[in-house]
Amino acid sequence: MSWALVTVERRVGQDRVELQCGGRKFPWVPEVPEARDLLKTVAIILAGGRGERLGVLTEERAKPAVPFAGKFRIIDFTLSNCVNSGVSTVAVITQYRPSSLNRHLGTGKAWDLDRHQGGLFVLHPYADRLSSEWYQGTADAVHRNLSFLEEVKARDALVLAGDHVYSMHYNEMLDFHHHTGADITVGVTPVPREETSRFGIVTLDDHQRVVDFREKPQEANSNLASMGIYVFRLEVLARVLEEDARRVDSSHDFGKDILPKVFNQLKVYGYPYRGFWRDVGTPESYWQSHMELIADLPQFNLYDPANPIHTKTRDWPPVKTGPWAQVSRSLVSDGCIINGVVRNSILSPGVYVEDGAVVEGSIILDNVFVGRRSYIHRCIVDKEAHIGAEAQLGSGEDFTPNGEETDLRTGLTMVGKRVRIPDRTRIGRNCALHVGVTEKDFTSDSLPSGASLRSRSA
């Protein structure tokens, strides 16, 4: 069985906690080894990535801050896993365009991380006497924050990616790490053979020990992918990071440089995970993961009370549907007003769909206006976009790949933040309309499949 610490009462200067195990609750006392293990664990969430392959969605925000499933951000899943697992000291390392992410994180209150013991810490790049550069890789980001881990007296460091969608009990992985006596434990999960070139691929022996680790191999001996989740004993982490920092030929990345080098030198084990886990780093994987949420039998349960997904929310009015509205197999968030047709789609808060409009197989983010008798098919539309009346997005049978965005080739069209599409404009498939495009940027009433459009005032 696995143990978790859960805050049950907040007091000035002190939290009262309980120890949970197998559905039973016990008063927490420091003498319980499992409780001490959790208190000595610090989670480090790597949230500074740009996520270039997501195109227009990451022009003005870091990938972990990209909205997901209507009301959430991608980082919410990792943060919720931490608090649901009883890991209450969490550091988020930021870098690329952090403003949106910082506003979302706030004090950590949404995840019960605004506390006196532990809590949420946001770590930004900084200048010191040795360096004033941006982080050079995931390992470099942690290396330059080792002093934080020493200050909080961590024994184990739980290193996490902030850009994956999944639900996982880290305390079970920590139990596995301690039981095996591992120096490093890597979370692994099976992926389709045809996708192994996208991941770090791990081979395990019969005792779950790592016997091979290859980053994005063209040919793989295994289909077990590294999830970007690692548990390190702190002294081991400090040593391997110091060694890597001295290597002039290193890109200072855990997957590319650290794990392939140390798996045959240290006790490195793989923790098998069989649940839902998605790397939503491309438009297609982002779109497909949303479509899985609205399937008849979704693999990922957003409604599990035992594993709630927490997020920072604002007060929205209820959903309103008009007399001719039709909504089927969709997620519709608070604040939406629907007078048209919504099928197989995800609508974030504040979306307005006028009468006669059809939204199908699409992801529509906050405060988007969909004009009368417009048609949107297989599109991802970012916040505050305005779709004119009788416009058509994702239309036609031409699937010409995008000439600039190499990941737009499956028929998806992407519309950036604050884009304004004129009335009666026809936009094909695999198109990218970048942030801030307005009516003045259109030179005709159509945009062919595979084309990109940028604001001339940008």
CATH 3.90.550.10 residue ranges for the chain: 40-293
Predicted confidence at residue 131, as pLDDT, reads 57
The answer, yes or no, to whether residue 221 has pLDDT greater than 80, is yes
Where residue 451 falls among pLDDT bands split at 50, 70, 90?
very high
What does the pLDDT average to over 34-62?
Answer: 82
Predicted confidence at residue 220, as pLDDT, reads 84
CATH 2.160.10.10 residue ranges for the chain: 320-453
Predicted confidence at residue 5, as pLDDT, reads 46
Q: In 197-300, at which residue ranges do the beta strands (DSSP E only) sit?
A: 200-204, 210-215, 224-233, 268-272, 277-279
Predicted confidence at residue 339, as pLDDT, reads 98
The answer, yes or no, to whether residue 362 has pLDDT greater than 90, is yes
**Angstrom distance (rounded) from CA 308 to CA 331:** 17
- Higher pLDDT: 50 or 64? It is 64
- Higher pLDDT: 310 or 128? It is 310
Where residue 430 falls among pLDDT bands split at 50, 70, 90?
very high
Where residue 153 falls among pLDDT bands split at 50, 70, 90?
confident
Where residue 51 falls among pLDDT bands split at 50, 70, 90?
confident
Backbone torsions φ then ψ of 7, nearest 5 degrees: -70, 125
Q: What is the reported pTM?
A: 0.89
pLDDT per position as a tens digit, 233-244: 999 999 999 999
Q: What is the mean pLDDT of the chain?
A: 88
- Higher pLDDT: 216 or 336? It is 336
Where residue 132 falls among pLDDT bands split at 50, 70, 90?
low
Residues of the chain above pLDDT 70, percent: 90
Where residue 25 falls among pLDDT bands split at 50, 70, 90?
very low
Predicted confidence at residue 406, as pLDDT, reads 85
Predicted confidence at residue 10, as pLDDT, reads 38
**Angstrom distance (rounded) from CA 298 to CA 275:** 12
Where residue 129 falls among pLDDT bands split at 50, 70, 90?
low
Predicted confidence at residue 135, as pLDDT, reads 80
Task: Answer whether 357's CB lies under 8 Å from 344's CB.
Answer: no
Closest CA to 184 of 192, 176, 194: 176
Q: Tell me the helix, strand and coil percentages in the chain, rounded to 5.
A: 20, 30, 50
Domain covering 40-293, topology: Spore Coat Polysaccharide Biosynthesis Protein SpsA; Chain A (3.90.550)
Please report where in the chains the tokens 């081979």 appear, as a residue.
203
How many of the other CB atoms lie within 10 Å of CB of 249? 5
- Higher pLDDT: 349 or 125? It is 349
The answer, yes or no, to whether residue 455 has pLDDT greater than 80, is yes
- Higher pLDDT: 135 or 412? It is 412
Predicted confidence at residue 39, as pLDDT, reads 59
**Angstrom distance (rounded) from CA 303 to CA 47:** 25
**Range with the poorest average pLDDT among 4-18, 139-153, 326-340:** 4-18
Predicted confidence at residue 374, as pLDDT, reads 98
**Angstrom distance (rounded) from CA 24 to CA 132:** 50
Domain 320-453 has CATH 2.160.10.10: yes
Q: Is 175 exposed, middle or buried (0-12, 13-18, 19+ CB in 10 A)?
A: middle
Predicted confidence at residue 37, as pLDDT, reads 55
Q: Which long-range contacts (CB under 8 A, 24 or more apart) does 73-77 make?
A: 73/101, 73/104, 73/311, 74/162, 74/163, 74/164, 74/165, 74/280, 75/45, 75/47, 75/101, 75/104, 75/105, 75/162, 75/163, 76/309, 76/310, 76/311, 77/164, 77/165, 77/166, 77/167, 77/309
* 3-state class (DSSP) for residue 303: coil
**Angstrom distance (rounded) from CA 50 to CA 60:** 10
The answer, yes or no, to whether residue 142 has pLDDT greater than 80, is yes
**Angstrom distance (rounded) from CA 154 to CA 231:** 12
The answer, yes or no, to whether residue 147 has pLDDT greater than 50, is yes
Task: Answer whether 116's CB lies under 8 Å from 107's CB.
Answer: no
Rounded to 10 degrees, what is the CA torsion of 150, 153, 159, 165? -130
What does the pLDDT average to over 59-85?
Answer: 95
End-to-end CA distance of the chain: 56
Predicted confidence at residue 94, as pLDDT, reads 92
pLDDT per position as a tens digit, 309-323: 999 988 999 999 999
